[in-house]
Structure 1
Amino acid sequence: MKETTGLAAAGRPEIVAAVERLTGAAASGVPCAPVRDLIGPDDLAAAYAVQAALTEGRLAAGARIVGRKIGLTSEAVQRQLGVDQPDLGVLFDDMAYADGDTIPAGRVLQPRAEAEIAFVLRSDLAGGPLDAPQVRDAIEYGVAALEICGSRIAGWDITFGDTVADNASSGAYVLGRRRHALDAFEPKDVVMSMSVNGEEVSTGTGAACLGDPIEALVWLARTAYELGEPLRAGQVVLSGALGPMRPVSAGDTVTATLSGLGTVTARFTEGAAS
């Protein structure tokens, strides 16, 4: 990110310290203290500077960016975490799972599942008005998705600055098999039900995602462009939760059903990431 990378490269000690704290938690598997004591609870530039530095580290280690995620789009999730605005994070290739896959519970620190609509882009969103008509035209298809959120910060004790710095509390994601163009469904009208081990634990609709998942994607397209890393053709976009997230652990099976899009399932087993 052009704006944030400059801050990280400047070697501000608080940015460096936050990066080291989060990197250490990810490497050790032991959640760390919040980073707001270093960068503040709502300093947007500092938080994205930390995220950018962490992204640079992942890329240097061989990871590949495959998309973006929008976080904190649901009022229910915002209430859960005590924040009041969306954020964005980066999706890497090693975060991706397919419908029905088994995920080692240790793959994500303090995992929580949420159901959402994922979009795959057929064209760049790197200029123009970046409004709803342009965004809709750029979407190749949508699928049912599970995001397995994770926090490197102990107890999910996060403010807005903490979650942004921690790559928007990203962990893994699972895409359904049924692909639908936008002429086959209307994102804001999708009805979602998510169950853990057969028990319904979360419900919601597309309208819970900033009023319309398309508007969430508009926000993402504009924000990513302003940060110097616009959305690109072929990328996956997780558009945001349609209902509250729920904790998951080894032995759990999570299934989300989204009207017009079908179902998506993930199973969690003991063990760390392979």
Structure 2
Amino acid sequence: MALNPARIQTLGDELFAALRARSVLEPLTNREAGIDIDDAYRISLRFLERRTAEGERVVGKKIGVTSKPVQDMLGVHQPDFGFLTDRMWVQNGSTVSIAGAGMIQPRAEGEIAFVLKKDLKGPGVTEDQVLDATDYVSPCFEIVDSRIRDWKIKIQDTVADNASCGVFVIGPDRVKPQALDLAAVKMDIAKNGAHVASGLGSAVQGHPATAVAWLANTLGRFGIPFLAGEVILSGSLAPLLPALPGDRFEMTLAGIGAASISFEA
């Protein structure tokens, strides 16, 4: 049975309070036996409503848990989805305060970001339509974080928690998506100067544009469009990498470019 509107609001408010206090909650799926994906999405909308009431502005959307290594790591075996706001967007090469950004247990993901030049709204969006609507792709680090204790999440927990999003950084390089085979693009990540991860664009549902089309169609079911100018994060190409104060991450996407981010307490 679906959760009632009052409970949806309460749980969204709890997640917002946890974000601001840098505290964690017990998994929602342990507390609400009947919670489903639609409930989780409505909780995330309440969470977002609290953020936008404080002046945050939606600048894009994200898909997560798209690759098998990440699904295996988290024990979540279908993608999640959430919103990006302007306060989550940090400058390439910057040093981010984990506490200042409200993060608790951050992990770094290397991704391909799509920046749109046309609106898209599902259902029925295809990979070709995604590529046609994309102005350019860029290298991206998404720093995921969870308000759920010890990352003990199921799909409903991460969707409710805005797809476990913390902050993101986009590199300065811009490439037309038609200029290369995005499925074959190779990513390499270095942590504190040492190579720690590699991945291919095909890690996300076979092709990054397939993942973006899935997200457009999933959000379309809730009446939420992609808008021209928005950033769409297509999912991690490699396993998540824990981020601690003092860590620096650098990534390259062959044929696209590079991005970097550092952390302090």
Shift of 1:262: 1.5
- Does residue 91 (structure 1) correspond to residue 84 (structure 2)? The answer is yes
Partner of 1:11: 5
- Give the letter aligned to residue 5 of structure 2: G
Would you say the 8 A contact 2:66–2:78 is kept in 1? yes
**Equivalent residue for 1:4?**
none
Q: Percent identity?
A: 40
| Matched letter for residue 78 of structure 1 | Q
Distance in 1 separating the partners of 2:11 and 2:123: 35
Partner of 2:237: 242
Match of 1:119 among 114, 118, 122: 114
TM superposition score normalised by structure 2: 0.94
C-alpha change, 1:128 and 1:33, in structure 2 (3 Å) is closer
Alpha-carbon spacing, 1:159–1:129, altered in 2? closer, same or farther (3 Å): closer
CA contact (8 A) 1:41 1:161 kept: no
Q: Aligned partners of 2:33 and 2:192: how far apart in 1?
A: 39
- CA-based RMSD of the aligned residues comes to 1.6
Q: 1:165 aligns with which of 157, 160, 170?
A: 160
Structure 1: tracts of 5 or more residues without a match: 1-6
Aligned to 2:248: 253
Is the CA contact (8 Å cut-off) linking 2:122 and 2:216 kept in structure 1?
no
User: 2:183 maps to what in 1?
Assistant: 188
Q: CA deviation at 1:120?
A: 0.1
Q: What TM-score results when the alignment is normalised by the length of structure 1?
A: 0.91
1:199 to 170, 194, 201: 194
Q: Distance in 1 between matches of 2:123 and 2:20?
A: 40
Q: CA deviation at 1:27?
A: 1.7
Tell me the SS of whatever aligns to 1:242: coil
User: What per-residue deviation string (whole Å, max 9, x for no partner) do you get for residues 142-193 of structure 1?
Assistant: 0000000000112111111110100000000010111000132221111011
Pair 103,134 (structure 1): closer, same or farther in 2 beyond 3 Å: same
The alignment partner of 2:16 has SS state of: helix
Residue equivalent to 2:25? 32
Number of equivalences: 262
- The separation in 2 between residues aligned to 1:98 and 1:75, in whole angstroms, is 29
Letter in 2 for 1:72: V
Q: Deviations over 1:212-254 (max 9, x none)?
A: 0010011011111111111010000010000101100111101
Q: Deviations over 1:93-143 (max 9, x none)?
A: 001012211111222221000100001000000268411221110000000
Structure 2 gaps, min length 5: none
